[in-house]
Every structure is written in C-alpha cells, then in structure tokens.
Amino acid sequence: MGMTFAQKVLAEKSGNDTVAVSQIVTVRPDHLLTHDNTSAIVGKIGDELEQYGIVNPDLPVIVIDHVIPAATEKNAAGHKKIREFVKKHGVKNFFDIGEGICHQVVYEKGFALPGGIILGSDSHTCSYGAVNTFASGIDRTEAAALLLTGETWLKVPPTIKITLKGKLQKHVTAKDLVLTIIGDIGADGANYCAVEFHGDVKNLTMDDRFAIANMGIEMGGKIAVFPVDAVTEEFFRAHGIDITGHPPVWADPDAAYMRELTYDLHAIEPVIAAPHTVDNVKKVGELEGTPIHQCFVGTCTNGRLSDLKTAADILKGKKISPDTRLLILPASRSILREAMKAGYIDTLVEAGGVLLPTGCGPCLGAHQGALAPGEKCLSTANRNFKGRMGCKEAEIYLASPATVAASALTGTITDPRKEA
Amino acid sequence: MAVWNYGNDINTDMLFPGKYTYTCSTAEEIKPHLLEDLDPDFAGAVQAGDIIFAGSNFGCGSSREQPALGLKAVGIKAIVARGFSRIFFRASTNQGLLLIECPEAVDAYKEGDEVTIDAAGGTITVAGTVYRFPKLPEEMMAIMKAGGLLEFTREKLKNRK
C-alpha cells in the first residue's frame, strides 16, 4: 500500500520508513511562524528563555502584521516587546510592520518549501500547502514550547483526495471553488484530515492555489496541499527561491484515502458564504440585491496581485455606489508595489476605494474597518463568524474579489458575470 | 455544579472575540470576555467544576488559545462534545483542560440531568447512564498529567540538563 503526502512527509521527518494513519510521531519543524502574538508567547517563558535561550535562531519566522500600525498603546508595547526579543535572541527571520501578512511573507520569502514542515500560531498557516509544504496551525503555548525545544508530536492524519477537472469560467475564481467545496463537505468536513488536490491543478495559478489552501482550515483540515508542477517551479524562480535539497513530495498512486471527491471546474459558479458560518454557501443569485455597507478586497485569502487586478478590471473608470464603501488591502509590500506599478491601486482608489496598510486589517475586528450594528460586509476574507469584524450585530458575507468588486458598483450583492 | 449546553460549530470568535486577541492574554484579562458573543451570562455565572456540553466542531476557527486558557482558569471540569476542531483540541490539552468526545453522552443529556465524570476511568455518567470515552494517546496524556504543555516542557528541559 502506498503512502499519502502527509504519511510521506511525516515518515521522512520522523526518521521512519513508513507511518500509519493515527500514528503519533515526533518531528522538528523547519520553521515556526508567530506574529503579533509573539509578545504573549515569549511572555509565558521569560524565565526559561533566560536560562536556556531559544533552541535555534533560524527556527522562528516572526512577522508583525495583525494590528499594524499599532492601534493602541497596548499594541505598541506588544510590538516593542517583540523587537526586543528578536534582538536579544538573534532571531534571524524577522519582518516588521508593512512587510505584509505573515502567510504571504512566509511564502514570498521562501520559508515554505516542498516537503517541509511549518507550524504556526495562526490557523491559516495551512496556506503553504500551496507550495507543497506540510503546514498547520497550533496554539501559543505550543509555539512557546517549540521555541525552547524545537520539537513536538504530530498525529498522522487520514487524507481526503479532491480531484479537479477542467477550467474555471471567466469571473469564477478559486475562491468560488473552495467555498463550494466547504459548502458541500461542511465546516468540519475535513476535521483532523489532510486534503490533497489532484487532477487539473495545472489550470490553477499560484494565487488560486494559495487561496484554496488558505481556506483548508475552514473545512477543518490539518493541511491542504498541492503537488509541485511547472507553475510552482515558475513561482520559486520568479521569487528567487532556491529549492535545491527540497525535492517535491507527492502521494503514491495507490495511497489509501478516507474519502474521494471530484469537481468539474467548468461547472463552478460564483458563490457566497452567508452569515455566520463558512459552510453556509449559496449561489450569488440567491442573495442578489442584498444591500452591502462595506466591501473588502484583500487579506491573506485574496489580497494577491491577481485579486487586485480582478477588482481593478471591474472598477476601471467607474465609481462605487454612494451607499457602500470599499476597502483595499494588498497582502504584502511587494504586492502593493507591483499593484502600484500596474496601475491597479490608482484605479481602485479613483473608483472610491480606501487603501489599507499591508497587514491583517479589518479581518479580525481588532482595528480598521469595524462594522456597526445592522451593517453587512461583503469580504474576500476567510471567516464570517458572528462578531468577527468587531460587532456581533453585524453580518459578514464571503465571496471572490470579482463578486466583491461587482457588488461595490451597485452597493448590493451582484453577480460578477453581469459586470463583464 | 452547572452544565452549560450549546450547539454545533461554536467557533473561537464566539468563545473569545477576536477584537481582544492582542490586548488580553492573561487569565484575568480573558475571564470577563469568555463566551461574550455566545452567552453573555456565562462569564459572570460560571463556577469551578462546571461542565460544558456542545455539538460538533466545537472550537473551530482561529488558533487563539484564550478560550482554552480562560475556560481552564475559571475551573471548567470538562467540555463534552460530539466533536472538536483539531487546533482547539490541541490547545486545550496544552492547557490541561479535559475535552471529552462522546456523541452518545451529548445526545442523552437533557437540561437538569445530573452529570458526573471519571476522567481517570474514562467514563461520563448522564442521568444514571454510564458512557465510555476514548483515552487520550500517551503523548497527550503525559501533557495532561503534567498540568499542561508548559509544565511538561519545563520538566523535559530540567531532565535534559
């Protein structure tokens, strides 16, 4: 019997020839991602850090991104504590405010590599499955222990195999695909599982794959992973990332799966996750005409160059509805610069958009773009939980950048195919 | 001892709103906001020894550990659910908070039923009927026994020297 991607990586990293599903192995992850929560993490282990130091200065990747620039004195003090920790312990991989959202930074800067393991104290760490990395979220306490010891246990997950066929239609995006999958299998449909994407993966761009892997946790997944192909290799080349010594890993043809699903990409339509769960998925048409007070294009799910292009193409030379507002948030400094060069930012701002700093922004309700009671937000983010954007009497709808941009023009939920 | 009973897909934003994530980290800061957007009565009324019942996918969403840390700090004896999201399961074990996956007990429970838990024996009794729940794997049991992952790690580091 062959092995799945998860089995192969966990076998290799734990020094075993093979591992079985549910087996628990000890691994040393290649990197540990932490962000603004680093201050709380290191605060737990002050004495131990004094006594033992960190296990390896190359292990942590620290990105300040969640509340940037600091909204309050308390946030500022947290950021200061992180900078002091970084200096004191010689942390090699540190990115201060403005570099980008942690997941985009990890991926652009080449920390996520084929067959590697990254654990991060953020649930969307699963995003790096886009480049064939075994990447999963953990809590702060586990991150603290990893800083000290560099090792932890992982249970070998069962795997769901999703085979993709064909191509997406115009104005239908990877976001629509992943929301459709989550709607089908449910918010816990992949709980504890690895999710592998097979089939016509070549028809998906890296931006598409990242958006899909990013949403892996919204179906409960431990990891969501793609194979390495020419598209991935081109991404590494374009970003100057050397993958020598990191051979791609993929499942054997006779690997055993817990469940197998097939999606015809041509049949996917624009969809929306309605409040207050990500699996409450409806066709855009079912919600058309719903008034939207705030439209949001950005985040670690959909703040990449192609997302901004999609929105800019729809809004070019037009103005958003006076009954709504539009927030734009590129996922990193490099994406912001590319989008400026390409004129997308100018187009979006001219259309009425408000440009936000390259961080997590309104997504988690800690600052910027909070909602008022009774308001509805249409967002390209990954979560629509009650209270998520700072107000429990507000509603969040999740959609693709195309749907959000088309809806910004009308101030109501609009099928992007009508704005084509 | 009270039993708090909730539904499916109770996410981490309901258990502890994201807007406090970067301003509240200690147990004392977390306690007043526990379950704020789910059940505004909870934080004021919860007592040590209380039990939470819930449906499937409890703790889904963010990796924030404040719900696990806070629920442990107020003395929640156990959370009994049809199922837990994996990050929450891990985070709770790392705080030494007992999670019991037992759909039969959840289905059986009715308001007012007496509930007792024998953690070592792996049983939960609801209105006189005994249900068994699976033992934690050895690795997680060792963390629970130490009282949480930080305590477990401190021991490990000490023994290394």
Q: So where are chain B's domains?
A: 3-136
Average pLDDT over residues A243-262: 97
Mutation target to probe the A interface, by most A beta carbons within 10 A, among B11, B23, B63, B93 is B63
* Smallest CA–CA distance from B91 into chain A, residue: A139
Number of residues in chain A: 420
In B6-19, which positions are buried (b, 16+ CB within 10 angstroms) versus exposed (e)?
bebbbbbbbbbbbb
CB contact under 8 A, B63 and A138: yes
pLDDT band at residue B49 under the 50/70/90 scheme = very high
CA atoms within 13 A on the CB side of A347: 18
CB contact under 8 A, A386 and B14: yes
CA of B111 vs chain A CAs: smallest distance (Å): 26
Q: Which range is least confidently modeled, A14-23, A262-271, B131-140?
A: B131-140
Which chain A residues touch B12 with a CB distance below 8 Å? 385
Place of tokens 């509930």: B115
CB contact under 8 A, B13 and A24: no
- Residues A207, A31: Cα–Cα separation, whole Å: 22
Q: Are A413 and A272 in contact (CB under 8 A)?
A: yes
CA of A148 vs chain B CAs: smallest distance (Å): 8
CB contact under 8 A, B94 and A52: no
CA of B33 vs chain A CAs: smallest distance (Å): 13
CB contact under 8 A, A387 and B137: no
* Summary mean pLDDT of chain B: 95
What does DSSP say about strands B123-126 and A395-398: parallel, antiparallel, or unpaired? unpaired
Which chain B residues touch A277 with a CB distance below 8 Å? 9, 11
Which chain A residues touch B22 with a CB distance below 8 Å? 36-37, 66-67, 74-75, 78, 366
- Residues B14, B11: Cα–Cα separation, whole Å: 5
Q: Are A210 and A197 in contact (CB under 8 A)?
A: no
The minimal CB distance from B56 to the residues A75, A188, A365 is found for: A188
Residue whose C-alpha is closest to residue A380's, from A359, A399, A356, A364: A399
- Report DSSP letters for A208-239, one per residue: HHHHHHHGGGGGT-SEEE----HHHHHHHHHT
Average pLDDT over residues B36-50: 96
**pTM (2 d.p.):** 0.96
What is the three-class DSSP state of A32?
Answer: strand
Task: Determine the topology of domain B3-136 in CATH.
Answer: Aconitase; domain 4 (3.20.19)
- The packing angle between helices B138-146 and B86-95, to 10°, is 40
CB contact under 8 A, A67 and B19: no
CA of A332 vs chain B CAs: smallest distance (Å): 21
For the stretch A345-404, pLDDT in tens is: 999 999 999 999 999 999 988 899 999 999 999 999 999 999 999 999 999 999 999 999
Mutation target to probe the B interface, by most B beta carbons within 10 A, among A192, A299, A385 is A385
* Domains of chain A, first to last: 5-264 (3.30.499.10), 271-419 (3.30.499.10)
Which chain A residues touch B25 with a CB distance below 8 Å? 40, 43
CB contact under 8 A, A122 and B19: no
> Which helix (H) or strand (E) covers residue A396, if one does?
strand A395-398
Q: Are A40 and A79 in contact (CB under 8 A)?
A: no
Mutation target to probe the B interface, by most B beta carbons within 10 A, among A188, A195, A379 is A188
> Which helix (H) or strand (E) covers residue B99, if one does?
strand B99-101
What are the angstrom distances between the C-alpha of A217 and each of A23, A212, A220? 21, 10, 5
**In this predicted structure, what is the pLDDT of residue A250?**
98
CA of A22 vs chain B CAs: smallest distance (Å): 10
What does DSSP say about strands A134-137 and A152-155: parallel, antiparallel, or unpaired? unpaired
- Residues A347, A406: Cα–Cα separation, whole Å: 14
The token pair at A215 is 């949403």
Report the sign of the C-alpha dihedral through residues A208, A209, A214, A220, in that order. Answer: positive
Instruction: At A105, give phi and psi (nearest 5°).
Output: -65, -45
CB contact under 8 A, A188 and B19: no
The minimal CB distance from A366 to the residues B21, B68, B83 is found for: B21
CA of A137 vs chain B CAs: smallest distance (Å): 6
The token pair at A241 is 């990332």
CB contact under 8 A, B85 and A191: yes
Average pLDDT over residues A223-249: 98
For the stretch A258-287, pLDDT in tens is: 999 999 999 999 999 999 999 999 999 999
Residue pairs between chains A and B whose CB atoms are closer than 8 Å: 138
Average pLDDT over residues A176-184: 98
CA of B132 vs chain A CAs: smallest distance (Å): 20
CB contact under 8 A, B13 and A141: no
CB contact under 8 A, A153 and B139: yes
- The yes-or-no verdict on residue A420 having pLDDT over 70 is no
CB contact under 8 A, B87 and A137: yes
- The yes-or-no verdict on residue A41 having pLDDT over 60 is yes
- The yes-or-no verdict on residue A220 having pLDDT over 70 is yes
The minimal CB distance from A52 to the residues B19, B63, B157 is found for: B157
* Smallest CA–CA distance from B154 into chain A, residue: A48
Q: Which residues contact A111 (CB under 8 A, 6 or more apart)?
A: A30, A31, A33, A61, A93, A118
Which chain A residues touch B154 with a CB distance below 8 Å? 48
Asked whether the ipTM of the predicted complex exceeds the cut of 0.85, the reply is yes
* Smallest CA–CA distance from A40 into chain B, residue: B25
pLDDT band at residue B26 under the 50/70/90 scheme = very high
CB contact under 8 A, B149 and A187: no
Average pLDDT over residues A308-324: 98
Residue whose C-alpha is closest to residue A125's, from A8, A27, A36, A213: A213
